[in-house]
Chain A
């Protein structure tokens, strides 16, 4: 942790960045996202195994948008998010200093995008065993069973949109659910309203989700909606050989067409 703090302090002291995005201690044993603007403030910066919230989310918020340059303490999930945001023209390399941190919590120093791409390859997405088990369980289901599973899983959804608000890839200024003319998705959190909302979200993230699990962690009713996105990531990888979060140059499967695209999934 000391090397991370030292790096953050130096970046601010040397005016290399205006803002460091990281973590500080929160309520009881929780940690929380924090924004550091002076070298002295960095005393409060922490990094430990609880710092798993995907803070890349804030890169699209006012505070980061208004900073001319910034640094971010970046675990593999955050690095993948940054690369994907860059690939979608949402962040520029000259603006951001990535303080790379491995899954084990080891600081690897500053990463430019090229180094970040290498880093991402050596720090594969770490799905939890329970995630893998659930994916296997769902994959073994028939189409009808899958549909019923998800209707049931989404039924407790209260449409608080914490999943959307916490997802670094859900950065649209106006989400489709906010459109009421025409109204694409029912606002009410009833059976169909929930199903349509989650299908829409899953489709908009297909092949763009970087598998951080933040949507699930932020959900107050613990819906495993991340699993749906993970399964779509696998599907897009298989069908289009495309994987999000590995490169700052990336053509999303959903908005491109090549002559070798398979169409066998259209049934």
Chain B
């Protein structure tokens, strides 16, 4: 408890129910970590479905994953890893009070995230064209396995949900840029940047699991 000085110097970013900035920062960070745990469990359900069906139809997975373009998948993996680096650099800039660097790094991250989504869009479009759609809309006849639609249902669920997280991440970072331009962040206060960064790393890590599990089966 910082004695009575708590009242005399009360920074603008500090909410009334926290004792000091440290406590606020630690709390926000812990909250984000716990939220990330829920995200992992959320995707965990899909991974469980993936594992169950892979155990039942291993040959289906071998066959169907040939339809996925490992080249563009790999490109996307690099794009996301790159964006994780730039988001980390954004946090570093904020710590060093380099607001311009913070904004530039955020823009690069947003750009990479958009690149990812564009590549994803072309992948989806190419498949849907062929009739590889989820569930009952599956009309492709290039695969012999009768359960082929289930593999692609799982594929669309996993990558779709991941894509949704990327879009949310883009939204969050646009908001960060907007706030940063208004001078909301500085070396004393950059909590939102830090926890958005944590979120972004998770989105990245999930993709790092999705890529080999879906694209690289053989």
Question: Is chain B found bound to chain A in the same assembly?
Answer: no
Residues of A with Cβ closer than 8 Å to B?
none
